[in-house]
């Protein structure tokens, strides 16, 4: 086991990474342009993007890309992101991030926090796309429906935006060695043993067999 | 009329004096250069049937029988109420709809992007969207005329004195004098909600009687939640999480990957 530590293990395939980045880029562009449309004092954003009218349409098209990659991502990740009984235990132990613990259940591919982020993006993603479609075609809906669409669109942005920062931190400097999963697709064996031990065991078993 | 930004005007619509001649409707179209629409006869003098992108004011004709069985014909000049707390201004992303001098809710249509936030936010259902121009339209109380010491076109055209315009306090006093004379069910509509409107009605019947007239208009709860809660908390939420992440990094440090120890623990 001399090369044990240096061994890099493929944790994501190219399709997964591309889906992730289309989803991420469209989501972040929506967030950026959306902030420009929400905060009049941030008119530098529409100014940068070519005016309010252009910003609104780019926001809409980016939203369509977000919706498409969300649907694709849902079917790709839903199996590994379905909650299981051990996830409650993981949450009760703060995932090992908040206080010292020796009771963390071994994780398969994604831990309960990652699963929570997945379901948050799915739920509020569907809500933000649905309300966005209503806002886009507000003249075909009753005023009260359109009105609440605008409000719930902002609520979804608030939730996804805040959870995104958690995702950004834990995917980068919070967990050294993680970010390569979304670039080269490879993480170290030690990383896999820490973050997805059951998945690693299954993989090693398959390779050995 | 003095050109002073601190002065608030009120257009008082005394429905008890209105004969529904619709001179104001025509004057509005003419001054604002709004084209006519081809309309259909629906068995009413109300024409067109509703406000349109090119019809900023409209006399609503309503047949009404009161409790005692007396028939009355109610005329109400519908149009923008120029709210002090204007939901449309709150909802508008680009600043096209804005508060101007005299209490006017004006529109810089060059800035309008046709997002339709105002059409659903308005508690009076006033702004109208035009698909062809991708912009919304509504009355601006003839802001250009007001700035030149002229009354709005509708007021100028009114032959019965149903439409008058003046400084807010003066007009409210005038309205109350009129109510005293009218007695009965007559009420002033507009001074008790949305921070008071700059268009007010003297109604001969309780407000609930009138078609399409909200009894207690307010900035909708959804608009308040959207703009006063979700909007700021999008930034506050992201900032708070970023702050918490930074603290976590400084206090707990990054979560380093650890290799399983051979035969250990």
User: Which residues partner with B63 through β-bridges?
Assistant: B73
pLDDT range class, residue A5, cuts 50, 70, 90: low
Q: Tell me if B241 and A157 make a contact (CB, 8 A cut-off).
A: no
Pick B222's closest partner by Cβ from A39, A147, A157: A147
8 Å CB contact between B54 and B187? no
- pLDDT-derived band of residue A102, with 50, 70 and 90 as boundaries? confident
Rounded to whole angstroms, the Cα distance separating B47 from A103 reads 75
> Three-class SS of residue B7?
coil
| Inter-CA distances, A36 with A50, A151, B194, B261, Å | 12, 16, 27, 51
pTM, whole model, 2 decimals? 0.94
Domain ranges in chain B are 9-219, 220-254
Q: Is the peptide bond before B49 cis (omega within 30 degrees of 0)?
A: no
Residues 170-209 of chain A whose Cβ lies under 8 A from any Cβ of chain B: 173-177, 188-191, 193-195, 197
- Looking at residue B264, what is its pLDDT? 36
Residue B258 has what pLDDT? 81
Would you give the distance in Å from CA B238 to the centre of its chain?
33
All structural domains of chain A = 11-208 (1.20.950.20)
**pLDDT > 80? residue A142:** yes
**Residue B222 touches chain A, beta carbons under 8 Å:** yes
Residues of A in contact with B135 (CB under 8 A): none
Q: Mutation target for A interface from B113, B130, B132: give the one with most A CBs within 10 A.
A: B113
Residue pair B64/B71 in contact (Cβ under 8 Å)? The answer is yes
CB proximity B242 to A under 8 Å = yes
Each residue's pLDDT tens digit, B220-240? 999 999 999 999 999 999 999
B140-152, pLDDT tens digit by residue? 999 999 999 999 9
> What ipTM was estimated for this complex?
0.93
Q: Does B261 lie at the interface with A, CB-CB under 8 angstroms?
A: no
pLDDT mean over A91-117: 94
Instruction: Dump pLDDT digits (tens) for A150-164.
Output: 999 999 999 999 999
Joined together, the tokens standing for residue A88 give 């409650």
Q: CA B207, B208, B211 angle in degrees (round to 5)?
A: 90
Reported confidence tier of residue B4, pLDDT bands at 50, 70, 90? low
Please say if the pLDDT value at position B3 is more than 70.
no
For domain B9-219, is the CATH number 3.30.530.20? no
Query: Which chain A residues have a beta carbon less than 8 Å from that of B53?
Result: none
């Amino acid at each position: 086991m001399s090369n044990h530590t240096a061994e890099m293990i493929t944790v994501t395939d190219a399709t997964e990474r591309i889906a992730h980045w289309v989803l991420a880029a469209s989501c972040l562009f929506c967030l950026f342009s959306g902030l420009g449309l929400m905060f009049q004092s941030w008119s530098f954003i529409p100014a940068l993007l070519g005016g309010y009218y252009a910003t609104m349409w780019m926001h809409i098209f980016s939203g369509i890309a977000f919706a498409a990659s969300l649907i694709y991502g849902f079917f790709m990740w839903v199996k590994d992101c379905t909650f299981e009984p051990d996830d409650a235990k993981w949450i009760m132990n703060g995932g090992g991030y908040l206080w010292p613990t020796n009771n963390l259940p071994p994780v398969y591919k994604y831990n309960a926090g990652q699963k929570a982020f997945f379901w948050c993006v799915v739920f509020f993603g569907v809500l933000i796309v649905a309300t966005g479609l209503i806002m886009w075609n507000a003249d075909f809906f009753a005023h009260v429906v359109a009105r609440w669409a605008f409000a719930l669109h902002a609520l979804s942005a608030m939730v996804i935006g805040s959870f995104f920062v958690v995702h950004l931190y834990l995917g980068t400097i919070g967990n050294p060695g993680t970010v390569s999963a979304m670039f080269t697709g490879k993480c170290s064996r030690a990383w896999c043993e820490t973050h997805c031990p059951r998945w690693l065991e299954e993989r090693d078993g398959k390779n050995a067999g | 009329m003095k050109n002073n930004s601190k002065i608030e005007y009120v257009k008082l619509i005394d429905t008890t004096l209105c004969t529904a001649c619709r001179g104001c409707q025509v004057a509005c179209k003419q001054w604002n250069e709004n084209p006519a629409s081809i309309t259909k006869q629906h068995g009413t003098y109300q024409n067109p049937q509703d406000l349109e992108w090119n019809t900023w004011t409209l006399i609503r004709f309503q047949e009404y029988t009161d409790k005692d069985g007396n028939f009355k014909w109610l005329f109400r000049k519908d149009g923008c109420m120029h709210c002090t707390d204007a939901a449309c201004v709150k909802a508008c992303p680009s600043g096209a709809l804005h508060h101007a001098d005299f209490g006017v809710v004006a529109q810089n249509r060059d800035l309008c992007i046709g997002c339709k936030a105002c059409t659903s936010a308005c508690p009076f259902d006033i702004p109208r969207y035009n698909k062809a121009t991708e912009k919304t339209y509504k009355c601006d109380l003839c802001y250009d005329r007001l700035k030149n010491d002229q009354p709005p076109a509708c007021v100028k055209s009114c032959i019965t004195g149903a439409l008058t315009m003046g400084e807010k306090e003066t007009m409210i006093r005038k309205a109350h004098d009129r109510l005293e004379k009218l007695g009965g069910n007559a009420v002033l509509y507009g001074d008790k909600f949305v921070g008071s409107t700059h268009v007010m009605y003297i109604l001969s019947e309780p407000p609930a009687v009138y078609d399409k007239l909200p009894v207690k208009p307010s900035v909708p709860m959804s608009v308040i939640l959207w703009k006063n809660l979700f909007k700021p908390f999008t930034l506050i939420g992201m900032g708070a999480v970023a702050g918490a992440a930074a603290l976590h990094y400084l206090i707990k440090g990054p979560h380093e990957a650890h290799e399983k120890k051979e035969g250990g623990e």
